[in-house]
Every structure is written in C-alpha cells, then in structure tokens.
Amino acid sequence: MALSLFRRYPMEIILVCMYTYLMFSAPGFATLDNQMNVLRNITMQGIIAFGMTMVIVSGEIDLSVGSGVAFSGCVTAWIARALTDTLGPWPAITLGAIAAMVILFLVGVLTGKVRQHFNMPTFITTLGLLTVLSGAANLITDGFPITSFPFQFNFLGAGILFGIPFPVYIFAAVFGFVYFLMNYTSFGRALYAVGGNLEAARLSGIDVWKTKTLALGITGVLTAMAGVLIASQILSGSASAARGWELDVISAVIIGGTSLFGGKGTVRGTLIGVLFLGIIVNGMTLLNVSEYWQLVVRGGLIIGAVLLNHALDRSAKKH
Amino acid sequence: MSAIIETQGLTKIYGNVVALDDFSHTFEPSRIHALMGKNGSGKSTLVKMLSGVTQPTRGNMMLDGREVSFKSPHDAFEANIVTVHQELSLVPDLSVTENIFLGRLPRTRTLGINRINWGQARRQTEELFARMGLDIDPKATISRLSVGQQQTVEIAKAMSFNPTLLLLDEPTSALATKEVEMLFGLLRNLKDQGVTMMYISHRMSELAEIADTVTVLRDGQHVGSIEMGASSLDNVVDMMFGDVARATRPARNTAIPKENPILQVKGLTRAPVFQDISFELRRGEVLGLAGMLGAGRTEVLRAIFGADPYDEGEIIMDGQRVDTPAPGSMVDLGLGYTPENRKEVGLVQDHSIHANLSMASLSKLAPHGFITKAVEAPGVAKQIEQLQIKVDSPALPVSSLSGGNQQKVVIGNWLNIDPKIMFFDEPSRGVDVHAKQQIFQIIWEQAATGLSSIFVSTELEEMLEVCDRILVMKEGRLLGEIDPSRTTLTELYTACMEGL
C-alpha cells in the first residue's frame, strides 16, 4: 500500500518529507515570510517551466529562455523609455510588454518552422538563439541597465496582494492555463501524441508541425512574461538578468518526471519540480550550506530524480 | 574452400510451435541451393541455426562430415559460415575499405606506436575486388554508393572471411533489375571459385536463373529438394502451397454497384516506385492490392492518403477532386489508414489504450479545440465492445496488449472517425490465427454497413479469403484484375511473380 502510493506520487512524497524535515531543522524556514519568499522566488522560472513542459512533451527543447527573459525585459524598458514622454508611462510599458511577447512568440514560431523545413534540431536553433538574444539585449541596452520605469511598476514583480506576492497570482494563472491546454484541448492531446510517436501522430491526421510550433510560441510568450516580471522586480531592463535560467527551468521539468524523449510528462509534475528546487535552495541557505555545495546538491538531484523515475517505470512494468 | 553441409533430423521448437521439423538433407558443395517457402515455413529458422543465431532443439549439423554445434554466430563464423543478411549492416559514413575490415583493420608498429596500416588495408581490398571481378573504389564512402553496390560490398565483406558456406537471406529484395544481374554475375563467379551458397528469395523468377537446386519447406516440413534443371516453376509453386483448396469465405452480399465509385485514382505516378496506377474503388467493396514485397502496394496507399508525395496523377474521392492530399485533410474527408508497421507508426506504445483509440478523431470530437476524457469515452467504449478488444482498463498502456488486440486498437482508432474508406495495410501481420479471423470479420462487417476498403497482405491466401476483387501489382505497375472466387492460390502467386 505504502509502496504503491510512493510509486504513484514519488516526488510529492519526497517533497513532503523534505518540507517536514526543514520545518524542524532549518531556522526560520517555517515562518510565513519565508514561505512567501520561496513562492516569490520560484514564480518566474516556474512560469517558463510550465511552457517548457509542453515543448519537451512534444519532443523538442528550448535552450534560449534565459536570454529570452533578459531580452524581453530590455525590450520593455527600451520601449517604455522611448514612448513614456508621448504616451505616458503606463501605456508605454504595456506596449513594451506586448512587443516583447509578440517578438518571442514569433521567435518560437520561427524555431518551429526551421525545425519543420530544414529538419534542424531545436537543440541547435535555440542554443544559437541563446547567444543571439543575449547579444540583442546588450545591443538594446548598450551594456547598461535601462532604468525607465516608475517605482509603482515594482508592484507587478514585488508587490503583495492579500498577503501573497503578486507574481504568485500570475504563476497560478499560468499553471491553470497550461494545465487546461494540456488536459482539455485537442492541442494538448496532440502534444503527447506528437512527442510519443511523430509518425503515428502524422498518420492519424494530426498537424504535427503546427503542434510543436505552437508549443514553442507559447513558451516564448511565457518567457517574455517572466522577463517583464523580473524587469519590474529590479525596476530596470538588464541584459545580464536571468543568466543560466534555461538549465534551472529544464531541471525543474525533468525533476517533475517529464521525459526528454517526449510523449510523457505533466504540468503538475513540473509544479512539484519547481517547488522542489525552490524549497531545497531556500532550505540549504537557511541551514548555512555553502553556495558551492548547493550547486553540487542541485545537480545531483536532477540525476537522482531521473534515476528514480526510471527505476519506478521499470518496476511498474513488472507489476 | 567448399563444403558439404549435411543435416540430420534438425528440429527447432519455439514454445509449442514446431518451426522446423526433422529436416534431413545434404547440400552438395560448390553449388547454389535455393530455399523456398512461404512466410513461416521454416526457412529462416534453418538459416538461423546454420549461422549460429539460434540452436536446434534436436538433430545434428555436419560440415564436411564433421559434426558441428554453434553456440553463437561467432562459432559459425569460426567454421567459415558467413551470412549476408537482408538488411545491410554497413556503416554508411565510413569508406568501403573500412567497412570490409571493420574491427580487424591491419595494424603496424611505427616508432613503437601501434597504428592502422591503411595502405595494406586498401591493397587487400583491391585484391579482393579483383578476385571477385568488381569495379568499386575502395576509398568511396558507403552512403555515396547505390543500393546494389552496397549489397555487393556486403558480399565482398563476407568473402573477405574466405567462407566455405555463404548464406544469402533475400539479397535482392532492395535491388533493381540491373543490379540483380550484377549480383548474379558475382554469385556465379563465386560458385566457380568453389563457394557453396544457400539462397533465400521470394522472387520465383530468380530461381531458374541462379539456383542449381531448390529445397522447399512448408509449415516446418521438408517437402522436397529438386534439381532446378529437371523442374519447372509451377512445380515449385505446387510444392510450396500443397493441395490447398480455394479459400473459404462467407457469402457476401455481392450487390456492389459498378457505377459511381467512391474513389477513383488516375495515372498516379511516383517514379521509380510506382507508375501510372489507375483504378476504382466501388462502394461497399473490399478491394485487394496484391503483389510481392517491393511491388509498391504500400507506397500507392500512402500516396493516396497523403503521407508521401507523388509526381502526377489524379485522386477523386466521392466525386470530389483532391489536389494535394495530406493526412489531416484526408481524415476530414473520411479516409482512414492502418499502416503496415503497427508497432512503429500505428500506435503510440507508451500511451493509454484510451488515448490511442481517440487519436484520429480528436478534431472531430473537439471542433473548437476543447476536449475532455468524458467526451472521448463513448467512442473508446464503443470500439472496445464492437471490436471485442480484450482490455482490463482503457487507462493501461497500449503496449500491454497482444498483437491482435493492438491491431484492433489501430482499427478502432480509425472507425471512430466514421470513415467512408479504409486502407488496411497488412492488418494481420504479427497477429495470431484467432485474432486474424476476428479482424477479417470486422472488415466484412464494416463492408456490410457500407464501408469501402482496400486490403493489402503479403499472405496471398488471405487476399483470396477477404477480398471481393484483387488488383495485381508488380514492380510498381498495375497488371490487372483477378476474381478471387475463380482463382487458386497457385494462380494468384504466379500472377504476382510472373505477371498476368
């Protein structure tokens, strides 16, 4: 009984155990302030991770999201600076945010088209884009952060509403949106079919390229949203923001049980993965674990989670 | 370097299936021995035992009067028995020389460093080619060669081991006529050098040309071995099929209207795979597309379905011209296709039976893109019941089902779109006898409700059993039409082999 429960919810159970342990051993972990702090810290990577789940389930990957976040923050700040005088600050910022989302959506679509027509693995295209977008962000900002936002803009990324950090609401909304997409739309079903067996999906009349391209496009939009949130949090558009996030995001998706080969994975799992990473980082910091050791532990976690999932899969097949 | 191969009571049993039963025969040296038989007749089993891939359940094999027993392919290799398999086993991005000496390139020591002696490797390759009378550049990359040349390299590689017995498993299945000529020249040359060969092929017409003797197997039994010179092809076909009577099929309502066909195909061509294919599919009929492997049957079906492109031709479905067929739009028009390789492309193996049963009907069930499991459930339940799919729960992965039930899931997936036309490509492959009958039953029942379908099977007796009308294809061309109720298996087989 206990074993079958563990087989069904392995990461959830480990998460609960870890949480309980930290509650009693990490000083300050159980305070409400700290809990909110954890939540705020995971929202932005989490928002992207939900989109990344769709991309990876469809059998592709997006390595460019780290630079995408920085780029979209810079685009928003740059447009806000250019238009605030004529339109006023809020329309200018809105326009900037929309522009960032549209651009990253189109970049995602382009990645999908290149995959379709030139059979170029998204691993390569988005690896290139990681550098391209970072360069573009630096071009826009000239290497210095653009501080064009009014201080009230800080609310979006750092404000508190009804006792909960504001970005957490966005995080929850995006989770709900992606959960709905993946479970209650034919697009969501197609994602799994395409990632599970591309040719079988194609022969069933599913538009396999549209499916993959849309997943990449949506992830672009979510990346831009995270970029706007972080720009709000630091009140500037900075080209050096979010460096290395792509690996954290992919780690969260993988820890959540999504297969890099495609066809398998849930956004609920990704939510667990995101919480898992956030809590372990916070807990280790409170326990005064050195930052270097934290890196070692986080890396080990990814490997351990995948090994565990494989082992459970194998034992499930025997039963 | 030639050998006498002798078998005594050679028997192989898998579970409760006797794949080869008490096979005793002497294969004389320096000759080409053809092995003939339908699928599952035991010829592959025999070759596998001779090449050490599997071990006999009982019985002996003797090489030059010495008893041998092969625990692994390596042992057979040591005894100078070399096999050329149907699938090429060359590394496409390496050179001809490197492929021939893969894993055993000659080495030399220079300044204490053990290095590959490329010069020697090339010289040995050139010598080998000269001996075999081949004109292939040893430096060429394999992927740049034609399939025929690649097959030749494969045989050259086998020859570099100086085999006393060369086993050839359908070496011509991927070759064009000209390349086959070249290959036969090579084989005759090898025979003159004293190599004994065993040759498996489904192409009857090749026998007279290349084989000295023919050994026929049927259902694991050794029917007989004859000298090719003293026999005719009809004789061999009779030996292969025995006295099977005309296949039995249920009385079908034969009121199939000739006019107003549901599908018309005119001059469909994709050179060089198929050419000028024109036919009509009548309403409510089961039309067979017969032919040997490589005749182009599957390719024609895939082109009509839009899975592969074609060069020219016209497809008219239900009176409506289809300009650029694609799977998505053809499904919308009511065409379904169960692919021949069910395991690889018919199903998403890791996914649930539920998901696999509603894959093709997604857009139909969710016109606005929104869907729930509850919306899909009736279709899933209906097919499980109607097709009698044995499942504990539709939530289980489809890979947990037997071959027959998996095939029913593939068919059910398509029936859920309420198709007007179905293409059944090898629906009975890898399916047990009982499930096979059930699948035929499904096809007939659907036909009775007005579904028109095209049926393809490598097993010709199935074609005679299932179809109302059979079109015969050979080498990418449509040869003509056969009435299954007036045709024997031997006649159909000969038609597929030799033409009408």
Structure tokens at B465: 């059993």
Contacts of A203 (CB under 8 A, 6+ apart): B305, B307, B327, B337, B339, B345, B346
Helix A186-196 × helix A166-184 angle, to 10° = 70
Four-way CATH pick for B263-498: 3.30.360.10, 3.40.50.2000, 3.40.50.300, 3.10.180.10? 3.40.50.300
Q: What is the largest CA-CA distance in chain B?
A: 86
Question: What is the model's pLDDT at position B247?
Answer: 46
Q: Which residue from B62, B81, B85 is spatially nearest to B72, judged by alpha carbons?
A: B81
DSSP 8-state secondary structure symbol assigned to residue B232 = -
A186 exposure class (CB count in 10 Å sphere: 0-12, 13-18, 19+): buried
Please state, as a whole number, how many other Cβ atoms lie within 10 Å of the Cβ of residue B219: 15
CB contact under 8 A, B328 and A197: no
Question: What is the model's pLDDT at position A189?
Answer: 87
Q: Which residue from A72, A101, A97, A67 is spatially nearest to A83, judged by alpha carbons?
A: A97
Q: Would you say the C-alpha torsion A303, A304, A305, A309 has a positive or negative sign?
A: positive
Contact B349, B343 (CB under 8 A): yes
Q: Which residue from B454, B450, B449 is spatially nearest to B284, judged by alpha carbons?
A: B450
B370 contacts in chain A (CB < 8 Å):
184-186
A200 contacts in chain B (CB < 8 Å):
344-348, 359
Among partner residues B344, B345, B362, which is closest to A190 by beta-carbon distance? B362
Please state, as a whole number, how many other Cβ atoms lie within 10 Å of the Cβ of residue A89: 16
Return d(Cα B416, Cα B380) in angstroms, integer: 8
A202 contacts in chain B (CB < 8 Å):
307, 327
B339 contacts in chain A (CB < 8 Å):
203
Q: Which positions in chain A have a beta carbon within 8 angstroms of at least one beta carbon in chain B?
A: 184-187, 189-190, 192-193, 196-197, 199-207, 263-264
Predicted confidence (pLDDT) per residue in B29-79, tens digit: 888 998 888 767 888 888 888 888 889 888 888 888 888 888 888 888 888
Q: Would you say the C-alpha torsion A68, A72, A73, A78 has a positive or negative sign?
A: positive
Q: Which of B93-97, B102-106, B216-220, B356-360 has the lowest mean pLDDT?
A: B102-106
DSSP 8-state secondary structure symbol assigned to residue B103 = T
CB pairs under 8 A between A and B: 77
| Identity of the residue numbered B309 | P
CB contact under 8 A, B337 and A186: no
| Identity of the residue numbered A178 | V
Q: Which residue from B124, B473, B147, B453 is spatially nearest to B290, judged by alpha carbons?
A: B473
Q: Looking at chain B, which residue has its C-alpha nearest residue A198?
A: B345
Contact B351, A193 (CB under 8 A): yes
Contact A222, A45 (CB under 8 A): no
pLDDT at A217 over 80: yes
Band (pLDDT 50/70/90 cuts) for residue B243 is low
Picking from B304, B343, B351 by the largest number of A CB atoms within 10 A of its own CB, the best residue to mutate is B351
Looking at residues B144-161, what average pLDDT do you find?
Answer: 82
What is the side-by-side strand order in the sheet with B335-338?
B335-338, B421-425, B452-456, B286-290, B469-474, B477-482
Structure tokens at B257: 């209207």
Q: Rounded mean pLDDT of chain B?
A: 83
Q: Which of A97-106, A270-279, B56-65, B244-253 has the lowest mean pLDDT?
A: B244-253
pLDDT more than 70, % of chain A: 98
pLDDT more than 70, % of chain B: 94
Question: What is the model's pLDDT at position A106?
Answer: 96
The predicted model scores a pTM of 0.76
Return d(Cα B79, Cα B81) in angstroms, integer: 6
pLDDT at A1 over 70: no
| Strand duo B469-474 + B286-290: pairing | parallel
B372 contacts in chain A (CB < 8 Å):
184
Return d(Cα B59, Cα B45) in angstroms, integer: 14
Question: What is the model's pLDDT at position B252?
Answer: 63
Looking at residues A172-201, what average pLDDT do you find?
Answer: 89
| Strand duo B32-36 + B213-218: pairing | parallel
Would you give the end-to-end CA distance of chain B in angstroms?
43
pLDDT at B254 over 70: no
CB contact under 8 A, A185 and B371: yes
Return d(Cα B199, Cα B173) in angstroms, integer: 12
Among partner residues B359, B369, B371, which is closest to A204 by beta-carbon distance? B359
Residue B366: CA count within 13 A, CB half-sphere: 24
Return d(Cα B22, Cα B10) in angstroms, integer: 5
| Strand duo B213-218 + B221-227: pairing | antiparallel
Residue B149 Cα to chain centre, angstroms: 21
Angle at B170 between CA B473 and CA B296, to 5 degrees: 20
Letter string b/e over residues A116-147, b meaning 16 or more CB atoms within 10 A of that residue's CB? eeeeeebeebbbebbebbbebbbebbeeebbe
DSSP 8-state secondary structure symbol assigned to residue B276 = E
Return d(Cα B318, Cα B326) in angstroms, integer: 17
Looking at residues B284-306, what average pLDDT do you find?
Answer: 87
| B262 min Cα distance to partner chain A (Å) | 20
Structure tokens at B54: 């599997």
CB contact under 8 A, A186 and B365: yes
Contact B156, B134 (CB under 8 A): yes
Q: Looking at chain B, which residue has its C-alpha nearest residue A185?
A: B370
CB contact under 8 A, A204 and B372: no
A206 contacts in chain B (CB < 8 Å):
327-328, 359, 362
Picking from B345, B358, B414, B426 by the largest number of A CB atoms within 10 A of its own CB, the best residue to mutate is B345
Looking at residues B447-470, what average pLDDT do you find?
Answer: 87
Predicted confidence (pLDDT) per residue in A22-45, tens digit: 888 888 888 888 888 888 889 999
Contact A236, A140 (CB under 8 A): no
Tell me phi and psi for residue B107, to 5 degrees.
Answer: -120, 160
CB contact under 8 A, A201 and B359: yes
Question: What is the model's pLDDT at position A177?
Answer: 92
| Identity of the residue numbered B17 | V
Phi-psi map region of B454: left, alpha, beta (phi>0 left; psi -120 to 50 alpha): beta
- The CATH number assigned to the domain with range A32-306 reads 1.10.3470
Instruction: Give CATH 3.40.50.300 domain extents, chain B.
Output: 5-241, 263-498
| Identity of the residue numbered A54 | M
Please state, as a whole number, how many other Cβ atoms lie within 10 Å of the Cβ of residue B184: 16
Q: Rounded mean pLDDT of chain A?
A: 88
B330 contacts in chain A (CB < 8 Å):
205
Among partner residues A187, A189, A203, which is closest to B345 by beta-carbon distance? A203
Q: Which of A35-49, A80-94, A129-143, A243-257 has the lowest mean pLDDT?
A: A80-94
Q: Looking at chain B, which residue has its C-alpha nearest residue A180?
A: B370
- Tokens 């650029």 — which residue? B324
Predicted confidence (pLDDT) per residue in B317-329, tens digit: 888 898 888 888 8
Contact B42, B52 (CB under 8 A): no
CB contact under 8 A, A184 and B371: yes
Picking from A180, A181, A204 by the largest number of B CB atoms within 10 A of its own CB, the best residue to mutate is A204
Band (pLDDT 50/70/90 cuts) for residue A288 is confident
- Tokens 């000083």 — which residue? A27
Return d(Cα A147, Cα A155) in angstroms, integer: 16
Looking at residues B445-451, what average pLDDT do you find?
Answer: 86
| A120 min Cα distance to partner chain B (Å) | 20
Among partner residues B327, B355, B369, which is closest to A185 by beta-carbon distance? B369
Residue A38: CA count within 13 A, CB half-sphere: 22
Bridge partners of B268? Answer: B277
Question: What is the model's pLDDT at position A267?
Answer: 94
Return d(Cα A108, Cα A219) in angstroms, integer: 7
CB contact under 8 A, B348 and A206: no
Q: Looking at chain B, which residue has its C-alpha nearest residue A190?
A: B359
Looking at residues B415-436, what average pLDDT do you find?
Answer: 84
Q: Which of A221-230, A280-289, B80-89, B185-194 has the lowest mean pLDDT?
A: B80-89
Q: Which positions in chain B have a beta carbon within 8 angstroms of at least one beta carbon in chain A?
A: 305, 307, 327-328, 330-332, 337, 339, 344-351, 355, 358-360, 362-363, 365-366, 369-372, 413
Contact B119, B103 (CB under 8 A): no
Question: What is the model's pLDDT at position B135?
Answer: 80
Band (pLDDT 50/70/90 cuts) for residue A317 is low
Q: Looking at chain A, which residue has its C-alpha nearest residue B330?
A: A205
Q: Which of A144-148, A230-234, A293-297, B122-126 has the lowest mean pLDDT?
A: A144-148
A316 contacts in chain B (CB < 8 Å):
none
Contacts of B200 (CB under 8 A, 6+ apart): B34, B35, B43, B44, B47, B168, B169, B170
CB contact under 8 A, A204 and B339: no
**DSSP per-residue string spanning B127-163:** HHHHHHT----TTSBGGGS-HHHHHHHHHHHHHTT--
- Quick one: fold of B5-241? Rossmann fold (3.40.50)
Bridge partners of B263? Answer: B281, B317
When mean pLDDT is compared over A139-148, A222-231, B208-217, B276-285, the highest value belongs to: A222-231
pLDDT at B1 over 60: no
Predicted confidence (pLDDT) per residue in A83-121, tens digit: 888 888 888 889 989 999 999 999 999 999 999 889 889
Contacts of B87 (CB under 8 A, 6+ apart): none
